Every structure is written in structure tokens, then in C-alpha cells.
Amino acid sequence: MTEPIKIVLADDHTLFREGLKRVLAQEPDLLVTAEASRAEEVGPAVAEGKGDVLLLDLRMPGREAVQTLLQLKEDHPDTRTMILTAYENADSIVNTAKAGARGYVLKDVSPETLLQAVRTIHRGGVWIDKKLPRAGDFAAIAAVQSNAEPPGEETDGIQSLTRRELEVLKLVAEGFSNEEIAVSTFISERTVKAHVTNIFSKLKVNNRVKAALAIIRKGAPPPAPAASPAPRPPGARARGR
């Protein structure tokens, strides 16, 4: 008999966890083995429950989900994490993918959809509702993180980047605008845009997400940003190529 998928629940709402356990308990191939109600409890819960899949709330007391994901990726690389949340912020969606999440599901989905998502992620797939903002970016980044697709030819161009271009590319991958990169690196925004254009040309890509994927595919994923490298000028809007 095949062993059930071991699931760890991490959510600060006890009532929600209890309801989720009832849903999962009806499935013979799924087994809840541990729970966490605070961010600092997640790692120990995954270790205790030998979790195959972690269902992680985006906002828990203790620390941000991105920090938790990065720590999990280091300590428990075989555990596949799905964000289960009520929030659909575009930046949060992409940042969790960069930090290692394999899925992103809203709490108002049907039980059938949730179960399908859990099984898909356990098999090595990626799951996100296509209607969510930047769903395509999440899927592309998560697929590369999970080695669900082979490296593209853009990784070959990494070697041709100058030191400055590589520095700019890393900041692009972290989600910073041209203006923020200029402030951080003490160069003009016009120079940043020129670097970005050269990067796109060398990597043979046409947008910032594809450029970021080149770094991830190379085996050195950039951390998702907790804050901008420098304060954004009042009234300024993010601008990118």
C-alpha cells in the first residue's frame, strides 16, 4: 500500500486548521502529521511531521512568509510548500515563488481544487489560479525552482555579462525598478536602462521576468526583497523597460 502524503499545516487560526484537517482526513492518501501556529514553529513542525507538503499561510505571527520559505528551502529542501492565503497581492505572489513556493492558493477555493493542488505539488508540479495577478510569472519561476523545465539558452549569456550588468540583473531579479537601481548603484537611471537593454540582448530575452529566470536557472536564485535598497523618492512610480 502506498504511503499517504504527509501534510503540515501552518496557520495562526485554530478554527481554520481544524476545518482543513476535517477536509484532508476524508482522503485516504493524505495525512496531517504536524501543525504550526507561528512562523518560528514551521521548521520544527516540518521536521517532526516529516512533511511532504506544507500548507503555509502568507501572514503568520513571527516573521514574513518569504523568510520562512527561504529557511525551509535550506533546511528541508524536499518539502514542497503551497501558500494558502486570503491575499492576492502581485508582489507577494512573485516573491513567494522566488523564495521556493510551488503553489499559491486562495482560501476561498473549493475543497476539490485544494486537494488537486496538493496532489499536483506533491508530484512535482506547480499550481496557481491563472486569474491571480502575475500568475504566469509565478508558474515560470516556480517551475524553474522545482526543476520542472530544463534551462533555457538565456543562461549561456550570463557568462558574457560585465560585473556591473550582473549587479543590475540581480537587482532586476529582486523586483527593483530602474529608478531604485540607479539610487542603489549610484549611477543614472539612463545608464541603468542602457545596462538593462544590453542584458536583454546578451540573454536573448525581452522582459524582466525572463531575465530574472536566467539567474535562477543558473543555480543562484536572488532573495525576494524585504525592502527597497534605498527610499523611493516621494511620488515616484516604478519604471522599467
CATH 1.10.10.10 range(s) for the chain read 153-217
What is the CATH T-level fold of the domain 5-145, as seen in this structure?
Rossmann fold (3.40.50)
- SS3 annotation, the chain: CCCCEEEEEECCCHHHHHHHHHHHHCCCCEEEEEEECCHHHHHHHHHHHCCCEEEECCEECCEEHHHHHHHHHHHCCCCEEEEEECCCCHHHHHHHHHHCCCEEEECCCCHHHHHHHHHHHHCCCCEECCCCCCHHHHHHHHHHHCCCCCCCHHHHHHHHCCHHHHHHHHHHHCCCCHHHHHHHHCCCHHHHHHHHHHHHHHHCCCCHHHHHHHHHHCCCCCCCCCCCCCCCCCCCCCCCC
pLDDT in tens, 5-52: 999 999 999 999 999 999 999 999 999 999 999 999 999 999 999 999
Q: Is the model's pTM score more than 0.85?
A: no
pLDDT of 68: 95
CATH 3.40.50.2300 range(s) for the chain read 5-145
At the top level of CATH, the class of 153-217 is mainly alpha
